[in-house]
Amino acid sequence: EDKVVQSPLSLVVHEGDTVTLNCSYEVTNFRSLLWYKQEKKAPTFLFMLTSSGIEKKSGRLSSILDKKELFSILNITATQTGDSAVYLCAGLMEYGNKLVFGAGTILRVKS
């Protein structure tokens, strides 16, 4: 059975802290790992990682994929209250173009 597991389920940090969100996956015919941010509305796309060991960055966010150990991490440095959201990771299957989502990590950044 395909599954994606995220940890922690939730965390609370203070502004300026650095956080690391974890995502492990077991997905049939795995192609890529995607990260989304969801703030009480539609998930918005952050990153898609296909190659192992290559970090992707966007401002204070970065992510990397380890295809040998089947996991990915999402780092957020110098957190701001606007980073408060649910962060979702998903494995993309090669056939059928299907995404298998984890349950998400709820991040709350306190000012």
Binding site for other proteins (CB under 8 A): 4, 31-32, 34, 36, 41-45, 48, 88, 90, 92, 94, 96-104
Instruction: Kindly state the smallest distance separating residue 82's Cβ from other proteins, in Å.
Output: 17
DSSP assignment string, 41-99: SS-EEEEEE-STT--EEETTEEEEEETTTTEEEEEE-S--GGG-EEEEEEEEESSTT-E
Question: Minimum CB separation from other proteins for residue 28, in Å?
Answer: 12
Q: Which one, 74 or 88, has the nearer CB to other proteins?
A: 88
Determine the Cα–Cα distance for residues 53 and 62; give it in Å rounded to an integer: 12
Q: Minimum Å distance from CB 104 to other proteins?
A: 6
d(CA 34, CA 14): 26
Which CB sits closer to other proteins, 92 or 109?
92
Cβ nearer to other proteins, comparing 44 with 51: 44
Closest CA to 65 of 94, 103, 56, 84: 56
Return the number of the residue (12 or 103) whose C-beta is nearest other proteins: 103
Q: How far apart are CB 60 and other proteins at their closest, in Å?
A: 20
